């Protein structure tokens, strides 16, 4: 019995390794085999995947229904625009990723800590409303405070990142180089999240989602865990926002708007709440489908809406839910 | 109705059979002579294949959301011009590939990449909002692709954010308002209160008007910037205006906000005592029917008017009405002129769209008579040099229209911030 | 003295649920709290574990006043509580359900091995999700998880509810084992016979007050009381 389990596990493991190798080879080879447009789409998909994965930490793993996650996505975009952007409004102080990344992480982290400490004292619909209100507040600041944020035009002239070690310098300016930069970031975050989710901290988050009071009865100060995961999710969303701004050379108030939060939420729901790969699938669909269908129809959003309703009603665990079920039935 | 406009492939139905005929023609001797000149221009491309493949023009416009009407009007104007040419320019067939930007910079980015990298369009036209334009600026600049902006008026694109690859067929926000400020000081009053939505275009327009108005000796009693895109209840803003007791009011609004503001201005009784001077978009043909008599007497400055009296315009407005069943508006004119500029470029390079530098060069001497009057592209600001008209809303034959009361002459964007 | 509840009053909004309740639990003792539905047993549990703090009176645990402590602080002091119903995490596996109680405290007394020594039946179910377990298994998992937190005392709210007699027997043995391991147990029950075979001392509640307090044998002899307050 134990032996059989072992061989099964071995086979599964070797299959997993095979899949991983294929993915890595494809990811590395992509710029050499695919056209530039496909690479663009891939970059976008990866960036939105990071964004959706970060929201999934809250919605999927901890059961916190944030409807204002775009706040951190946009914040990351505006922070990088402000410190690295070359235009008349910004500081243009450095584009060295060794400095900019920590600034983005600390900046979004501090804001997430403040917002989280306040919002997480509430639950359910109230939490949802507070996160939404915070994001909309940031959006209106971005729109109104045009002397700093560029108003509705946003901030332009954001360069692609570079690494500067003094003696050695490398710029991710070309699309291929930037693609590898995004892939590396994605992989690092993906495996980072994988480890976090399978750590005692991750287990505590799942426990909180399942029953918060029970966790308290076990001695967990759940508020601290929730603030922790809120900050983590905010920082990762901020990194995604930073990447998008660098990819587009532009930070726009739309990055903060509630529709952006909504988009991320749909990615998570569509792909599969509470699985690591689900949001990646959701992001891929959400970014690629309109791109394909909009050539044929202007109403892709209506089709998307119908699809979403079908999913919520018939497959509440998203595409990953369906896949996992199938896998189980086959075994 | 223009709103029923097809989404993407604007290849004219006739064109399919038309191009087949053309291919036959190509076999003829006359065509051969033509191809030899092309072969020199693009040595690594088989010249006959270049002749067969239509030139693709990418169009990026909002076909959904609050500016869908603008997108539809620009599209209709552009198509109308190309249709008049039988969808032919530079000796090749021309085809439009349109994408909806949804007014979102991120969607616009994706669609721009799709048009250029996947659909391999030869150049791109469109862009309604400045936010989208600024967002796309680096992409077109870095990839050395030509973009003809058919609406978005952000001053910066003619100034510090200028790119050799981005030219404008529409206007800069400065353009209609600076001349209007000077004229208003001389003809309407010397104390103004200003009202505009709180976003880029609102600030651009107010700054331009304020600059010439103040330089001439006028006093600005106050400026109010209202929430954008929806101003909400206009009552407190109207009250603020009345309290300042100005001799005139300047405003810029568009779409539903323009209807709300102009109606409230009339309902609160201000239109009787205080003349309303505005940027032309606030009382353009697209909003006048909804504003109704509230707009009567409003004075505005713009680079066109429906009833502008010149031959090109008369033909244009008739043809447009025949085609779409609605009156033309300034956006349709901009689309129409965009078509004209594109055909000029394609003719100059004889359909060889790989010759980017020659295409850019050919933009320097664009000059024709537009429905808006004499039209030139200014090589310095890469923006039109065009006449600005003072118009007044009057009732003509039971319908409200903007009647030109003065031609202020030709204006070009200064290319820097020295004049507001 | 493990737990001392001293003359507490607890309110739910305006409704005065507990009225002057006092109770004690000694080291390594099993105490039963009996009473009909609505007698106030659950409210007393909630006051002890910090869910519904008493507004008058004090509660001490190992000498600490815990009356107004947050429930996670009370848990950390060593009170392990199992709510009424199946208090497992249905979407976590058995293993996760147990390990979630393990928090790397100083002098951790329990690990997976000795837990599985007590509940060998769980060994084969470690990768099953909580909701896939039987009622008895769920109850075992809940107790196992509580043990992982190194409790000095367990508060079990109706562990017998909905369990078949055979399994009930197993749970009963486990509860006795706790006592032998030096863990006090406060057993809140409606199943009077089940409780009486396990405990030495009994509290009976009625309408928010303690109406009987004494040895099991004293209660068994007092048929009038059994009938009046417990319906037997």
Better-predicted residue by pLDDT, B35 or A37 = A37
**Any chain A CB within 8 A of the CB of C135?**
no
pLDDT at B99 over 80: yes
pLDDT, mean of residues A18-47: 89
pLDDT of residue A5: 60
Tokens representing residue A276 in the block: 């690591």
Distance CA B207, CA B224 (A): 12
Three-state helix/strand/coil letters over C20-50: EEEEEECCCCEEEEEECCCCCHHHHHHHHHC
Could you write out the DSSP letters of every residue in B51-75? HHSPEEEEEEE--SSTTHHHHHHHH
Q: Distance between CA A212 and CA A62 in Å, rounded?
A: 10
Mean pLDDT of B27-55: 49
The pLDDT assigned to A265 comes to 93
* H helix or E strand, kind and range, residue C153: strand C153-157
Structure tokens belonging to residue A306: 């119908």
Q: State whether residue C8 sits within 8 Å of chain A by CB.
A: no
Is the predicted pLDDT of residue B15 greater than 60, yes or no? no
Q: Pairing mode, if any, of strands B367-370 and B373-378?
A: antiparallel
- The pair of structure tokens assigned to C50 is 């910090």
Give the confidence band of B9 by pLDDT, cuts at 50, 70, 90: very low
pLDDT at B13: 38
- Give the single-character DSSP code of A209: H
pLDDT digits (tens, 9 = 90+) for C32-54: 999 888 889 999 999 999 999 99
- The whole-number pLDDT of residue B50 equals 54
CA distance C135 to C191: 16
The pTM score is: 0.83
Residues composing chain B: 420
Assess contact for A231 and A66: CB atoms under 8 A: no
Q: How far away is chain A from the Cα of C89, in angstroms, using its nearest Cα?
A: 6
Are C76 and A217 within 8 A, CB to CB? no
Contact A249 B7 (CB under 8 A): no
| Distances from the Cα of A87 to the Cα of A92, A165, A249, B122, angstroms | 8, 25, 11, 29
Beta partners for residue B166, in sequence order: B147
State the nearest Cα–Cα gap between A47 and chain B, in angstroms.
12
Could you give phi then psi for residue C160, rounded to 5 degrees? -85, -10
Q: Which residue has the tokens 């050695």?
A: A168
Q: Count CA atoms within 13 Å of residue B132 on its CB side.
A: 27
A317-328 pLDDT, tens digit per residue, is 888 888 888 777
C-alpha span between B61 and B86 (Å, rounded):
23
Q: Which residues pair with C3 in a beta bridge?
A: C25, C61
Interface check A248 vs B, CB under 8 A: yes
Neighbours of C32 (CB within 10 A): 23
How far is the C-alpha of A161 from the C-alpha of A239, rounded, in Å?
12
What was the ipTM of the complex prediction? Answer: 0.86
- Listed as ranges, residues in chain C with pLDDT below 70 are 86, 104-107
Closest-CA residue of B relative to A251 is B135
Give A267's contacts (C-beta < 8 A, 6+ positions apart): A48, A51, A52, A55, A279, A282, A283, A285, A286
Q: Which band of pLDDT confidence, cut at 50, 70 and 90, is reported for residue A4?
A: low
User: Distance between CA B328 and CA B335 in Å, rounded?
Assistant: 11
Is the confidence at residue B24, as pLDDT, over 70? no
Phi-psi region of C104 (alpha: psi -120 to 50; beta: other; left: phi over 0): left
Q: What residue spans of chain A are helical by DSSP H?
A: 2-33, 36-56, 70-84, 97-119, 124-144, 146-149, 175-197, 200-210, 212-217, 222-248, 258-271, 278-293, 300-314, 318-330
| Strand-strand pairing, B88-89 and B92-100 | antiparallel
Q: Which domains does chain B have, with CATH numbers?
A: 13-171+309-379 (3.40.50.2300), 174-302+386-419 (3.40.50.2300)
DSSP percent split of chain B into helix, strand, coil, nearest 5: 45, 20, 30
Instruction: Please name the chains neighbouring B, where neighbouring means 3+ C-beta pairs under 8 angstroms.
Output: A
DSSP 3-state assignment of B265? helix
Predicted local confidence at residue A86, as pLDDT: 84
> Is the pLDDT score of B48 beyond 60?
no
Nearest by CB to residue B134, choosing from A35, A156, A244, is A156
Query: Most A CBs within 10 Å: which of C45, C48, C71, C152, as the mutation test of the A interface?
Result: C71
Q: How far apart are CA C112 and CA B45, in angstroms?
A: 73
User: d(Cα B316, Cα B338) in Å, to the nearest integer?
Assistant: 14
pLDDT of residue B227: 85
Domain boundaries, given as residue ranges, for chain A: 42-256
Cβ B142–A44 below 8 Å, yes or no?
no
Q: Which residue has the higher pLDDT, B101 or B15?
A: B101
Mean pLDDT to the nearest integer, B36-50 = 44
For chain B, give the mean pLDDT.
87
Q: Is the peptide bond before B229 cis (omega within 30 degrees of 0)?
A: yes
Q: Are B57 and B75 in contact (CB under 8 A)?
A: no
Residues 6+ apart with CB under 8 A from A113: A227, A230, A231
Helix (H, G, I), strand (E, B) or coil at B384: strand
pLDDT, one tens digit per residue, over A175-196 is 899 999 999 999 999 999 999 9
- Within 10 angstroms of residue B412's Cβ, the number of other Cβ atoms is 18
Structure tokens that stand for B246 in this block: 């100005």
Indicate the average pLDDT of chain C. 89
Question: Which pLDDT score, from 0 to 100, does residue B212 have?
Answer: 96
The rounded distance, in Å, linking the Cα atoms of B294 and B272 is 10
pLDDT at A160: 94
H or E stretch at C6:
strand C3-12
Note the pLDDT tens digit of each residue in B352-408.
999 999 999 999 999 999 999 999 999 999 999 999 999 999 998 889 999 999 999
Residue in the block written with tokens 């609406």:
B151
The pLDDT of residue B231 is 85
Contact B306, B317 (CB under 8 A): yes
Choose from A217, A220, A225, A316 for mutation: most chain C CBs within 10 A: A217
By CA distance, what is A88's nearest residue in B?
A: B160
Strand C184-189 to C30-35 pairing:
parallel
- What's residue B283's pLDDT? 94
Contact A80, A246 (CB under 8 A): yes
Q: How confident is the model at residue B334 (pLDDT cuts 50, 70, 90)?
A: very high
Q: What percent of chain B has pLDDT over 90?
A: 74
pLDDT at C224: 82
- Averaged pLDDT score across all residues of chain A: 89
* Residues B47, B53: Cα–Cα separation, whole Å: 10
Across B148-165, b (16+ Cβ under 10 Å) vs e yields bbbbbbbbbbbbebbeeb
Return the exposure string of B305-328: e unless at least 16 CB atoms fall within 10 Å of the residue's CB, then b: bbebeeebbeebbebbeebbebbb
Query: How close C73 gets to chain A, by Cα (Å)?
Result: 6
Name the residue among A41, A144, A295 with its Cβ closest to that of B198.
A144
B175-216 pLDDT, tens digit per residue, is 999 999 999 999 999 999 999 998 888 999 999 999 999 999
- Determine whether A118 is exposed, middle or buried from the number of CB atoms within 10 Å of its CB (0-12, 13-18, 19+): exposed
pLDDT in tens, A86-135: 877 888 888 999 999 999 999 999 999 999 999 999 988 999 999 999 99
Query: Of C3, C73, C77, whose CA–CA distance to C44 is shortest?
Result: C3
Looking at residue C191, its pLDDT comes to 87
Chosen for mutation from C49, C51, C75, C151 (greatest number of chain A CBs closer than 10 Å) is C75
Task: Flag if C89 and A200 touch (Cβ within 8 Å).
Answer: no
Hey, what are A37's tokens? 């447009």
Best CA proximity match to C220, nearest among C205, C232, C208, C207: C232
At residue A287 the predicted structure's pLDDT band, cuts being 50, 70 and 90, is: confident
- The reported pLDDT for the residue numbered A331 is 61
């Amino acid at each position: 019995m134990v032996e059989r389990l072992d061989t099964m596990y071995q086979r599964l493991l070797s299959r997993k390794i095979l899949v991983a190798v294929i993915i890595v080879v494809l990811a590395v080879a992509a710029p050499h085999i695919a056209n530039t447009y496909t690479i663009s789409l891939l970059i976008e998909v990866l960036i939105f995947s990071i964004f959706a994965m970060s929201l999934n930490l809250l919605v999927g793993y901890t059961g916190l229904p944030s409807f204002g996650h775009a706040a951190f996505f946009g914040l990351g975009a505006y922070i990088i625009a402000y410190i690295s952007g070359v235009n008349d409004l910004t500081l243009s102080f450095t584009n060295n990723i060794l400095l900019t990344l920590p600034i983005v992480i600390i900046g979004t982290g501090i804001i997430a800590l403040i917002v989280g400490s306040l919002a997480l004292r509430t639950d359910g619909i109230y939490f949802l409303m507070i996160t939404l209100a915070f994001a909309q507040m940031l959006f209106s600041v971005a729109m109104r405070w045009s002397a700093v944020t560029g108003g509705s035009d946003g901030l332009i002239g954001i360069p692609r990142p570079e690494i500067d070690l003094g003696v050695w310098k490398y710029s991710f300016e070309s699309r291929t180089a930037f693609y590898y930069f995004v892939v590396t970031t994605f992989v690092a975050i993906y495996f980072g999240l994988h480890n976090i989710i399978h750590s005692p901290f991750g287990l505590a988050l799942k426990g909180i989602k399942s029953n918060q009071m029970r966790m308290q009865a076990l001695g967990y100060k759940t508020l601290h865990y929730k603030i922790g995961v809120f900050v983590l999710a905010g920082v990762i969303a901020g990194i995604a926002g930073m990447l998008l701004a660098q990819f587009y050379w532009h930070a726009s108030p739309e990055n903060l708007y509630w529709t952006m939060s909504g988009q991320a939420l749909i990615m998570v729901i569509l792909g599969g709440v509470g699985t690591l790969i689900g949001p990646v699938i959701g992001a891929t669909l959400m970014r690629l489908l309109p791109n394909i269908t909009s050539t044929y129809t202007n109403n892709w959003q209506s089709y998307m809406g119908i699809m979403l309703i079908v999913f919520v009603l018939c497959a509440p665990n998203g595409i990953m839910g369906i896949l996992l079920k199938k896998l189980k039935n086959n075994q | 109705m223009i709103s029923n406009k097809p989404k993407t492939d604007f290849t004219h139905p006739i064109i399919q059979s038309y191009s087949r005929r053309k291919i036959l023609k190509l076999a003829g001797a006359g065509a051969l002579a033509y191809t030899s000149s092309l072969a020199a221009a693009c040595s690594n491309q088989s010249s006959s294949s270049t002749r067969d493949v239509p030139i693709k023009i990418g169009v990026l416009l909002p076909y959904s959301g609050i500016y869908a009407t603008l997108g539809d009007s620009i599209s209709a104007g552009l198509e109308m011009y190309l249709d008049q040419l039988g969808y032919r320019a530079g000796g090749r067939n021309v085809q439009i590939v349109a994408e909806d930007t949804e007014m979102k910079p991120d969607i616009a980015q994706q669609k721009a990449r799709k048009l250029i990298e996947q659909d391999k369009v030869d150049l791109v036209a469109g862009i309604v909002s400045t936010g989208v334009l600024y967002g796309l600026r680096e992409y077109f600049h870095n990839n050395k692709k030509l973009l003809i902006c058919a609406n978005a008026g952000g001053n910066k694109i003619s100034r510090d954010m200028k790119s050799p690859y981005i030219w404008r067929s529409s206007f800069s926000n400065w353009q209609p308002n600076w001349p209007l400020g000077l004229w208003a000081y001389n003809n309407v009053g010397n104390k103004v209160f200003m009202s505009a939505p709180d976003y880029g275009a609102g600030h651009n327009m107010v700054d331009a008007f304020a600059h010439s108005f103040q330089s001439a000796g006028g006093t600005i009693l106050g400026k109010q910037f209202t929430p954008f895109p929806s101003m909400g209840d206009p009552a407190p803003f109207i009250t603020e205006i009345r309290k300042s007791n100005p001799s005139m009011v300047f405003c810029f609004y568009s779409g539903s906000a323009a209807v709300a503001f102009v109606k409230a201005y009339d309902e609160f009784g201000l239109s009787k005592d205080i003349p309303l001077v505005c940027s032309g978009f606030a009382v353009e043909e697209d909003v006048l029917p909804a504003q109704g008599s509230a707009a009567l007497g409003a004075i505005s400055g713009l680079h066109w008017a429906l009833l502008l009296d010149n031959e090109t315009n008369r033909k244009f407005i008739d043809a447009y009405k025949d085609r779409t069943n609605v009156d033309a508006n300034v956006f349709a004119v901009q689309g129409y002129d965009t078509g004209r500029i594109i055909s000029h470029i394609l003719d100059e390079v004889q359909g060889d769209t790989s010759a980017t530098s020659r295409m850019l060069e050919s933009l320097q001497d664009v000059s024709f008579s537009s429905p808006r009057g004499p039209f030139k592209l200014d090589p310095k600001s890469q923006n039109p040099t065009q006449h600005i008209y003072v118009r007044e809303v009057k009732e003509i034959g039971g319908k409200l229209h903007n009647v030109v009361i003065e031609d202020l002459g030709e204006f070009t964007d200064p290319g820097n911030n020295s004049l507001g | 003295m493990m737990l001392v509840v001293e003359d507490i009053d607890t309110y739910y909004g305006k409704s005065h649920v507990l009225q002057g309740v006092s109770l004690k639990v000694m080291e390594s003792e099993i105490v039963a709290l009996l009473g009909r539905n609505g007698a106030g047993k659950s409210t007393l549990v909630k006051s002890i574990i910090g869910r519904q703090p008493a507004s008058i009176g004090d509660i001490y645990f190992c000498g600490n006043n815990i009356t107004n402590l947050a429930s996670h602080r009370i848990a950390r002091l060593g009170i392990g509580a199992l709510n009424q119903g199946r208090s497992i995490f249905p979407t976590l596996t058995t293993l996760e359900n147990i390990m979630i109680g393990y928090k790397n405290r100083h002098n951790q007394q329990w690990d997976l091995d000795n837990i599985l020594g007590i509940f060998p039946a769980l060994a084969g179910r470690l990768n099953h999700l909580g909701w896939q377990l039987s009622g008895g298994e769920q109850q075992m998992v809940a107790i196992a998880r509580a043990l992982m937190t190194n409790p000095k005392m367990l508060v079990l709210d109706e562990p017998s509810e909905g369990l078949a007699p055979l399994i009930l027997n197993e749970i009963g043995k486990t509860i006795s084992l706790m006592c032998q391991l030096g863990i006090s147990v406060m057993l809140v029950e409606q199943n009077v016979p089940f409780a009486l075979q396990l405990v030495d001392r009994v509290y009976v509640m009625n309408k928010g007050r303690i109406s009987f307090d004494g040895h099991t044998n004293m209660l068994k002899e007092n048929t009038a009381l059994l009938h009046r307050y417990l319906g037997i």
